[in-house]
Chain A
Amino acid sequence: GQQVQQSPASLVLQEGENAELQCNFSTSLNSMQWFYQRPGGSLVSLFYNPSGTKQSGRLTSTTVIKERRSSLHISSSQTTDSGTYLCAMANYAQGLTFGLGTRVSVFP
C-alpha cells in the first residue's frame, strides 16, 4: 500500500483563503520534506522538517514524528500558490518516498 498518504487529493481555493494539507506515513520515519511542484514539473523544496513547526512566509509546516504525520498550512492563499504540493519521507536507502500530492488551485 501507499506508504505516504496525502489529503486532500485536490483543493480549490478563493484567493485569500487558508488551507491545510495533510501527510500521513504508514511506517516510522527519520525525516520528511515538503515540496512544491510547479505546473511545468520542477520541484521546489519548501521544508525539511524532521519534527516540530517551521514557518516560511505564508507557509507553516508542523510535523509530529511519533504520530507519523505532518501538515502544511497555507495562509492568505494567492493565485501563484497554485500547483501540486508533495510530501516525502526519507526511507532506509536515504532516498525519498513521495506521496501522490495535493493539487491546489487558487482562483482570484
Chain B
Amino acid sequence: GALVYQYPRRTICKSGTSMRMECQAVGFQATSVAWYRQSPQKTFELIALSTVNSAIKYEQNFTQEKFPISHPNLSFSSMTVLNAYLEDRGLYLCGARDASSAETLYFGSGTRLTVL
C-alpha cells in the first residue's frame, strides 16, 4: 500500500536555530507534496505546494526564505524551518499526492516542533 514516512516525529530546538524535517513516499510516486502546519489550537494551514520539476508555490504568510523546501525526486521531500521562534511551534505535516489514486493525499505522521 501507499505510505508516507515523515521524520523526525518530535523535535525540540532552541529559539533562533533551524530544524529540518523529511518525508518519504513509499509504494507510489509523489508527483506533488504539500506541507502543512497546525499551530496550537488551530487547524492546518498550507505552507507550500511542491511539484516535481516545477517551482514551489508558497502560500501567503509563508516564504522560501523561512521554509525552504527540497523535492528532488518522486519519493522524497524535505522542509527546513529556519531561525525558529515560538510562533513556529506546532505540528508539521507533509501530504503527498498520488495522481494515479484519485488524487488522494497521503499524509505522514507529522513532526511536532517545540521551540525553547
Q: What is the CA–CA distance of A35 and B105 in the complex, to the nearest angstrom?
A: 11
Q: Does B43 contact A (CB under 8 A)?
A: yes
Chain A residues, Cβ within 8 Å of B46: 93, 95-97
A41 engages B110 (CB within 8 Å):
yes
B43-90 residues with Cβ-Cβ distance < 8 A to A are 43-46, 49, 57, 59
User: Which residue from chain B places its CB closest to the CB of A6 in the assembled complex?
Assistant: B43
5 additional contacts (CB under 8 A) given A42-B107, A93-B57, A95-B34: A35-B107, A42-B108, A45-B107, A86-B43, A100-B42
Instruction: Give the interface of B toward A (CB within 8 A).
Output: 32, 34, 36, 38, 42-46, 49, 57, 59, 91, 93, 95, 97, 102-110, 112
What is A's interface to B at a CB cutoff of 8 Å? 31, 33, 35, 41-43, 45, 48, 86, 88, 90, 93-101
